[in-house]
Structure 1
Amino acid sequence: MATEQSFVRVADADDLREDNPQIVQADGHSIGLFFHEGEVHAVDNRCPHMGSRYP
């Protein structure tokens, strides 16, 4: 089964730093952006254990 992928620009990579994670909104989803060891990571903005959102 194939899935369609699309990309939405939510931040400038130059604005992401190791000490400054960001919470952004895209297509109705809250997303946490992290810069770690030279790579950008995006995760669903919710705790997998309790389901609450990060501040």
Structure 2
Amino acid sequence: MNLVNIYYDIHQSITYGHSQLKTGHPVRSAIHKQLNGRLVLRWVTTWESLLLY
């Protein structure tokens, strides 16, 4: 996965709406938190791997 895909994923998820994700779940739901956690982990992991090279 490259940085463009990560930016696209984060941009699409976060800017979809103030109170709901594109799936229709409330922002504070466990599903929303899990998706955000995956995006952050993916972003950090990618940046760390780029720094190693």
Q: Which of the pair is proportionally richer in helix?
A: 2
Structure 1 length normalisation: TM-score?
A: 0.22
Flag the structure with more relative contact order, 1 or 2, with Cα contacts below 8 A and sequence separation at least 6. Answer: 2
Q: Which of the pair is proportionally richer in strand?
A: 1
Structure 2 length normalisation: TM-score?
A: 0.23
